């Protein structure tokens, strides 16, 4: 069985995002880029499933500009066998990404597709669900535990009410939550080894994916900031202030 | 003509308050009609609650055994079919809505707008990206239905009581997939107010130090009638269950009073509370970033301060 992993490159989660003054975007020049944290978790889970046996190949997929190669090499250094780079200079929204994934699935025939529950740049949380819908296959979103056996996957999902356990036939789409695992660190020798691993490059335009119906983003703005408040000296003063405000 | 279909969220035979928040967003579209769809095995009690929400024109029900649990694979094809003739399909941006809405969008072949904060026009919306560090204005194509999730913290619940909308069963009559099955829901037992709708929330972070120490937070919350929340670090460390996580990737909340105790104030946490009325921070580190956004700050050791607070409250 083969596992396909979504491996998106995003602005690193530690970067304080600045909106461009003219409202046309956020500042990304010279900003640190990293794998989407949920995608590192997705890759780690795929690697662990492979280490447990029954999985032959883990393939990382990145849809993005030409310079995505170095990022995909990180995925290979972490342990993926192969990478697929769908090359496009345009920003790709979830529905378009899901359609592109579906094309790759038709070719690769994976038993499992693991994506992040959300990309921390667009915070959309859509691609996995859309892909599963287009593919007409099960979806298990927000996974915090995954067990594969007998052509089935049992997934524990983090939901608002607690933990929901569902069971799905393979092939299926899983999206990862934070507590699924802790991704491994990349070791230096693995970086060397990754150089020999294959990256298939596919032009987005050759996939035959309809991308005309993306949402139009007309403006970027900074959020309204909360202003700095007051400091109180002790517990008694805090309670007095809260009582005065009618909050206690 | 614009018509909004709102997907009702419910659990254990009760309507989730997030539904009335999604109705508020639907009202802001200024549509000709707002219908709420209830999918469940037993719809009556939930539909009756939904019918009371002000602004709702009709409640549509889809009752079948397969709808007993909220499986996106089962619900999405029914919702997609029911969506014919609607200009908008809204769901609350909860784990339920986030799971099902994109699948509905995919089945309809349309893009989705996630986490609507405000509505500038029937097809123009504002939503947060980058953990709320930027707010974008997006335009959806008026040629297709708009599928969207509603950022519940941005919308007060539509009032309930005066309305008496008609309830109409739908005959959707479609086969639903059987490849995905519900096994069980492990629900945290909790007599405290619900985190997502509580007017007061007390949250603890890594500074609380252990599962045992978290009792201090629970006790204080009970004293003031607050719900309990937590930072990711506290959840990861196993002090509290996952459903208490507040933030970018947890729950986004807007209580009147939020008290953050032993929480540093990482951007991912702050994005979950920026709509709170009053933010109080208690932290032993006077330089902690939480004090940049707190309305009231108190520097000191939480284990000393909480008992003092309890005493001062009386
Ligand atoms: C992709 C991603 C998503 C994330 N999503 C979320 C999210 O949804 N929600 C979230 O919260 N985080 C999230 N995080 C994590 C976030 O970046 C921070 O790591 C986390 O919020 C830190 O939690 P904390 O403030 O409890 O811990 P710390 O940052 O370790 O802070 C602990 C604080 O406790 C104080 N303290 C210690 N002892 C005491 C004492 N005795 N009395 C008083 N104060 C004390 C310390 O001074 C310190 O400020 C996410 C991170 C990533 C990468
Ligand atoms: N351009 C992309 N390249 C690779 N994976 C992607 C891309 N866009 C989305 N994904 C996958 O879809 C997940 C959810 O993204 P989103 O729906 O944008 O929040 C991400 O965590 C990735 O696993």
Residues B17, B164 within the same domain:
yes
As a whole number, mean pLDDT of residues A64-87 equals: 97
Residues B212, B114 within the same domain:
no
CB distance A116 to A42 below 8 Å: yes
* Per-residue model confidence (pLDDT) at position B275: 94
Q: Domain range for residue A151?
A: 2-244
B177 in a domain, yes or no? no
Distance to chain A for B69, nearest Cα, Å? 10
Residues B157, B237 within the same domain:
no
**Is the pLDDT assigned to residue A45 strictly greater than 90?**
yes
Residue B250 Cβ contacting ligand 1 at under 6 Å: yes
Residues B55, B161 within the same domain:
yes
Cis peptide before A171 (omega within 30 of 0): yes
B191 in a domain, yes or no? no
Total structural domains within chain B? 2
CB distance B17 to B39 below 8 Å: no
Interface touch B248/A117, C-beta < 8 Å: no
Q: Classify strands A172-176 and A112-116 as parallel, antiparallel or unpaired.
A: parallel
Provide the 3-class DSSP secondary structure of residue B277: coil
The percentage of residues in chain A with a pLDDT greater than 70, rounded to a whole number, is 100
pLDDT tens string for chain B (314 positions)?
A: 899 999 999 999 999 999 999 999 999 999 999 999 999 999 999 999 999 999 999 999 999 999 999 999 999 999 999 999 999 999 999 999 999 999 999 999 999 999 999 999 999 999 999 999 999 999 999 999 999 999 999 999 999 988 999 999 999 989 999 999 999 999 977 789 999 999 999 999 999 999 999 999 999 999 999 999 999 999 999 999 999 999 999 999 999 999 999 999 999 999 999 999 999 999 999 999 999 999 999 999 999 999 999 999 98
* Per-residue model confidence (pLDDT) at position A145: 98
Shortest CB distance from A238 goes to which of B139, B277, B280?
A: B280
CB distance B116 to B25 below 8 Å: yes
Who contacts B103 (Cβ-Cβ below 8 Å, separation ≥6)?
A: A129, A130, A132, A133, A139, B72, B73, B76
Least confident of A81-90, A219-228, B22-31: A219-228
Identify the sign of the CA torsion A8, B94, B294, B269.
negative
Residues B218, B156 within the same domain:
no
**Is the pLDDT assigned to residue A128 strictly greater than 90?**
yes
Among A7, A116, A120, name the best residue to mutate to test ligand 2's pocket (greatest count of ligand atoms within 8 A of Cβ): A116
- Nearest in space to B226 (alpha carbons), one of B187, B263, B255: B255
Residues B164, B210 within the same domain:
no
Distance to chain B for A121, nearest Cα, Å? 5
* Per-residue model confidence (pLDDT) at position A225: 86
Residues B149, B208 within the same domain:
no
CB distance A142 to A82 below 8 Å: no
Provide the 3-class DSSP secondary structure of residue B185: strand
- Nearest in space to B141 (alpha carbons), one of B101, B117, B108: B108
CB distance B105 to A168 below 8 Å: no
Write the burial class of residue B149 (CB in 10 Å: 0-12 exposed, 13-18 middle, 19+ buried).
buried
Residues B232, B142 within the same domain:
no
Angle at which helices B18-28 and B95-108 cross, to 10°: 50
Q: Domain range for residue B45?
A: 3-169
* Per-residue model confidence (pLDDT) at position A8: 98
Looking at the complex, does the CB of residue B222 fall below 8 Å from at least one CB of chain A?
no
* Per-residue model confidence (pLDDT) at position B191: 85
* Per-residue model confidence (pLDDT) at position B188: 79
CB count, 10 Å around CB of B202? 28
User: Tens digit of pLDDT for each residue in A160-192?
Assistant: 999 999 999 999 999 999 999 999 999 999 999
Residues B149, B212 within the same domain:
no
Provide the 3-class DSSP secondary structure of residue A212: coil
One-character DSSP codes across B72-122: HHHHHHHHHHHTTT-SEEEEESSHHHHHHHHHHHHHHT--EEEEE-EEEET
As a whole number, mean pLDDT of residues A216-232 equals: 93
Residues in chain A, total = 248
Who contacts A67 (Cβ-Cβ below 8 Å, separation ≥6)?
A: none
CB distance B170 to B82 below 8 Å: yes
Spell out the SS3 assignment of A134-179: HHCCCEEEEEEEEEEECCEEEEEEEECCEEEEEEEECCEEEEECHH
Total structural domains within chain A? 1
Q: What CATH number did the domain enclosing B120 receive?
A: 3.40.50.620
CB distance B206 to B213 below 8 Å: no
Who contacts A176 (Cβ-Cβ below 8 Å, separation ≥6)?
A: A38, A39, A41, A42, A45, A114, A115, A116, A117, A142, A143
Instruction: Write the DSSP symbol of residue B12.
Output: T
- Listed by number, the residues of chain A in 23-82 with a beta carbon closer than 8 Å to a beta carbon of chain B are 26
Provide the 3-class DSSP secondary structure of residue B49: helix
Distance to chain B for A35, nearest Cα, Å? 14
pLDDT tier at A226, thresholds 50, 70, 90: confident
Check: complex ipTM more than 0.90: yes
Provide the 3-class DSSP secondary structure of residue B269: helix
In a mutational test of the B interface, the residue from A119, A229, A244 whose CB has the highest number of chain B CBs within 10 Å is A229
Please give the angle made by the CA atoms of B305, B306 and B309, to the nearest 5 degrees.
85
Q: Of B151, B169, B187, which one is at a domain's C-terminal end? A: B169
pLDDT tier at A227, thresholds 50, 70, 90: confident
Give the distance (Å) from ligand 2 centre to CA of residue A118: 7
Residue B298 Cβ contacting ligand 1 at under 6 Å: no
Residues B205, B159 within the same domain:
no
CB distance A186 to A77 below 8 Å: yes
**pTM for the whole structure:** 0.97
C-alpha distances in Å from residue A96, one per residue of A102, A136, A211, B302: 10, 17, 6, 48
B192 in a domain, yes or no? no
Residues B112, B156 within the same domain:
yes
Q: What CATH number did the domain enclosing A207 receive?
A: 3.40.50.620
Interface touch B180/A226, C-beta < 8 Å: no
Q: What CATH number did the domain enclosing B261 receive?
A: 3.40.50.1220
Residues B290, B224 within the same domain:
yes
């Amino acid at each position: 069985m083969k596992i396909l992993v979504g491996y998106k490159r995003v602005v690193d989660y530690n970067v304080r995002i600045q909106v461009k003054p003219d409202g046309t975007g956020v500042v990304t020049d010279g900003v640190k880029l990293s794998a989407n944290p949920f995608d590192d978790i997705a890759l780690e889970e795929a690697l662990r499933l492979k280490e447990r046996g029954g999985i032959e190949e883990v393939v990382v997929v990145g849809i993005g500009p030409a310079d995505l190669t170095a990022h995909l090499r990180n995925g290979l250094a972490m342990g993926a066998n192969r990478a697929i780079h769908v090359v496009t200079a345009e920003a790709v929204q979830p529905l378009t990404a899901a359609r592109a994934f579906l094309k790759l699935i038709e070719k690769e025939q994976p038993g499992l597709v693991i994506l992040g529950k959300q990309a921390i740049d667009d915070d959309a949380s859509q691609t996995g669900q859309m892909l599963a819908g287009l593919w007409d296959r099960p979806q298990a979103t927000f996974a915090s535990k995954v067990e594969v056996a007998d052509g089935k996957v049992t997934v524990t999902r983090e939901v608002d009410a607690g933990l929901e356990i569902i069971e799905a036939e393979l092939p299926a789409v899983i999206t990862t939550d934070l507590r699924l695992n802790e991704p491994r660190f990349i070791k230096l020798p693995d970086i060397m080894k990754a150089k020999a691993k294959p990256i298939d490059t596919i032009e987005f335009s050759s996939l035959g994916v309809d991308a005309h119906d993306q949402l139009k983003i007309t403006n970027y703005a900074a959020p309204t900031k909360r202003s700095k408040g007051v400091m109180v000296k002790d517990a008694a003063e805090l309670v007095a202030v809260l009582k005065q405000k009618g909050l206690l | 003509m614009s018509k909004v279909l709102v997907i009702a969220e419910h659990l254990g035979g009760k309507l989730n308050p997030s539904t009335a928040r999604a109705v508020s967003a639907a009202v802001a579209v200024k549509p000709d009609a707002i219908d709420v769809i209830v999918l469940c095995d037993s719809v009556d009690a939930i539909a009756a609650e939904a019918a009371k929400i002000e602004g709702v024109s009709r409640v549509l029900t889809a009752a079948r055994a397969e709808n007993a649990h909220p499986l996106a694979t089962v619900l999405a094809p029914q919702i997609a079919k029911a969506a014919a003739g609607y200009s908008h399909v809204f769901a609350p941006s909860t784990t339920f809505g986030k799971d099902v809405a994109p699948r509905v969008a995919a089945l309809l072949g349309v893009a989705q707008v996630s986490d609507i904060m405000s509505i500038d026009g029937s097809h123009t919306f504002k939503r947060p990206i980058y953990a709320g560090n930027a707010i974008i204005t997006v335009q959806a194509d008026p040629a297709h239905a708009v599928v969207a999730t509603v950022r519940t913290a941005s919308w007060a619940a539509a009032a309930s009581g005066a309305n008496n909308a008609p309830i109409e069963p739908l005959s959707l009559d479609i086969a639903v997939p059987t490849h995905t099955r519900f096994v069980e829901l492990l629900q945290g037992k909790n007599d405290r107010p619900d985190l997502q709708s509580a007017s007061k929330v007390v949250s603890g972070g890594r500074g609380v130090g252990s599962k045992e120490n978290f009792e201090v937070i629970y006790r204080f919350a009970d004293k003031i009638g607050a719900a309990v929340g937590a930072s990711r670090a506290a959840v990861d460390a196993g002090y509290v269950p996952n459903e208490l996580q507040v933030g970018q990737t947890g729950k986004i909340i807007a209580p009147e009073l939020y008290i953050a105790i032993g929480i540093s104030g990482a951007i991912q946490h702050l994005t979950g509370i920026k709509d709170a009325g009053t933010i109080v921070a208690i932290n032993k580190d006077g330089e902690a970033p939480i004090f940049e956004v707190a309305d009231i700050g108190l520097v000191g050791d939480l284990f000393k301060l909480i008992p003092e607070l309890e005493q001062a409250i009386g």
